[in-house]
A and B are shown apart, each in its own frame.
Chain A
């Protein structure tokens, strides 16, 4: 079997990658869509601040050693195939490049608490679990 891997757009754009230590712990949320994660701020030359709930992370913009292609699986069940031998596999799969990653915002510090005592957690707000 062959799966083509190709660019479908002719000019793949650069995506951003944000990497955090640990995992985001989502509380009380039934669905993630449109849920706010936090606020990202470019504080100085190559310093970024990411505030998530009551935690603050410090990070930098890092160029990746090698680029990363973002691939999306696409299933064609088109009527284009008239070859009867191919009729046995009506669905052809293709991996399409939808973007390239060349940089990431890397937050590798442990989260620092903004307030020492958390009194009431607002609903639907992700918090950060460090390792």
Chain B
């Protein structure tokens, strides 16, 4: 059923008047497309934002900025009415009463936007998971400060559920008990070392680790099954499922790049700058046998700087950079006044936001120069 005035029969008329309760309710008009409308009516949507944020609207998959569009026209809102007066007026035609419940001076429009994930890192870094003594179980009297559950995060972070899940995965966060945690890198390194030692001891193939065997072996070293599985998922990918003795066990293939990168980061944290050759030597020495480090693996994680005949390497991780385009470029140009495309590109990989391509961002935030046709393009701040 729709408001009667929309279905007025030919030659019939309606008396339009302000309703009994006109002006008592404040209505907001939200323009949506059919897909969002369907989700809104079926599952509902969520408006998110703290007192200092601009509110966003989230569907299960995407995040939208909310834009107010005002009109100078008079807009009358008329709901369907229960009480249709079908009488006869002077000329014998049927007529309808249409009651205006509110007027509107504008509506809200949605513009898809990038999720605001900067504060997620800050929240999770308040209390990284540093020890496994509790075996995944929280002590009852442990203070909850700095710990965030899924419900806390979904309330505090301006992102859709899907985007939040992806961001937690990208941060290698894990749910332990009720809380989402990032695991301290040194703790993770210790665990990884134990896995490699066990692999040597039991003659395991790092490309084909049996989850059940790893979990069992590491129990003796007081690592909980959950944190072992998390470690395997951070540094490897799940292979097929193995069935033996009616028990299922997953197989894990450790990823060369992820493992090597982990060891590179440890070295780069120990010393601010490395001579490239010395770094490569040390990197090969610390990385487990069978895994071959390569400088390509460091794109987006470290920068090589040429000083005279020497090349120096320093940590510069994309994960430490702000996510908003203006802030990202400002940080990049603070680090280096001039960027070659090859160096710059890895730091823009995660920057595609809805409605904004990397090309558009480069035009907006950088100036491109090319000294000669054959030389590499140089980007400077605009």
Contacts and interface: CB of A to CB of B under 8 A. Distances in A.
Interface of A: 1-7, 12-24, 32-45, 48, 50, 61, 66-73, 95, 97-101, 103, 105, 131
B75 interface: yes
A107 B21 CA distance: 25
B76 A18 contact: yes
Contacts of A21: 73-74
B19 A33 contact: yes
Q: Which among B4, B10, B20, B48 has the greatest number of chain A C-beta atoms within 10 A?
A: B10
Interface string B44-78: 11111111000001000000000000011111111
Contacts of A131: 72
B6 interface: yes
Contacts of B84: none
Contacts of A6: 40, 43-45
24 contacts: A1-B49, A2-B155, A3-B47, A5-B30, A5-B46, A5-B57, A6-B45, A14-B6, A15-B79, A18-B78, A21-B73, A36-B16, A37-B16, A37-B18, A37-B76, A39-B14, A40-B14, A40-B16, A42-B12, A43-B10, A61-B6, A67-B34, A73-B26, A105-B6
B327 interface: no
Interface string B1-17: 11111101111111111
A18 B79 CA distance: 11
A17 B37 contact: no
Contacts of B31: 66-68
B40 A69 contact: yes
A67 B37 CA distance: 8
B30 A17 contact: no
Given A1-B49, A16-B6, A95-B47, A70 B29 contact: yes
A16 B5 contact: yes
Contacts, number: 186
Interface of B: 1-6, 8-23, 25-34, 37, 40-41, 43-51, 57, 71-80, 98, 100, 104, 107, 154-155
Contacts of A70: 27-30, 77
Given A16-B78, A19-B73, A2 B10 contact: no
Q: Which among B18, B33, B50, B79 has the greatest number of chain A C-beta atoms within 10 A?
A: B18
Nearest to B43: A6
Nearest to A36: B17
A44 B10 contact: yes
A48 B22 CA distance: 24
B275 to A, nearest CB: 51
Contacts of B77: 15-17, 70, 101
Contacts of B71: 19
Nearest to B17: A36
A79 B48 CA distance: 23
Contact of B48 (A1, A15, A40, A42): A1
Given A2-B47, A13-B2, A40-B14, A68 B40 contact: no
- Leading 6 A-B pairs by shortest Cβ distance: A6-B44, A16-B3, A14-B2, A41-B13, A42-B8, A3-B47
Contacts of B41: 7, 12, 97
A68 B22 contact: no
Given A69-B29, A72-B28, 17 more contacts: A1-B51, A4-B45, A5-B30, A14-B2, A15-B2, A15-B78, A16-B3, A36-B16, A42-B11, A42-B13, A45-B10, A68-B31, A68-B32, A69-B37, A69-B40, A70-B28, A101-B29
